[in-house]
Amino acid sequence: MSETIDTNALGEKIVTVLKTIYDPEIPVDIYELGLIYDVFVNEDLDVKILMTLTTPNCPVAESLPMEVEEKVKSLDEVKTAEVEITFDPPWTQDLMSEEAKLELGML
């Protein structure tokens, strides 16, 4: 009997991990900041994360995606993890959650 894979539950675990990663210049996690555009989990437990950076010249342009990939890979259920960076659409403050805006005194 094969085990049923709950990709939605795994997706929620991934989001929990993403909320532990902070932009070094802004005291808000990358998920609430709106840097994560999408998280894909297939039935083989391969994860692909589509994310952006606050600017193309972001000082953590190389290290932040690697940190995201490594932390997501550290989940036992995840077989592989890949991060794809996009600037389409470009990040704007409108992508931030209400929580992030409150944290930064923008509300």
The enclosing H or E element of 62 equals none
Residue 26: count other Cβ atoms within 10 Å of its Cβ: 16
pLDDT of res. 80: 96
* For range 36-55, the mean pLDDT: 94
pLDDT of res. 2: 42
**102: in domain:** no
CATH code where residue 28 lies: 3.30.300.130
pLDDT of res. 5: 65
CA atoms within 13 A on the CB side of 60: 17
**103: in domain:** no
**67: in domain:** yes
Instruction: Look at residue 22 and tell me whether its pLDDT is greater than 70.
Output: yes
Alpha helices in the chain (DSSP H): 7-18, 63-73, 98-103
For 82-107, the pLDDT digits (tens) are 999 999 999 999 999 999 999 899 98
Q: Which domain holds residue 58?
A: 7-92
Phi, psi dihedral angles at 58 (to 5 degrees): -50, 130
**2: in domain:** no
Looking at the DSSP bridge assignments, the partners of residue 10 are none
Instruction: Look at residue 4 and tell me whether its pLDDT is greater than 70.
Output: no
**84: in domain:** yes
**57: in domain:** yes
pLDDT of res. 26: 85
pLDDT of res. 7: 82
Give the total number of structural domains in the chain. Answer: 1
Tokens of 13: 């675990």
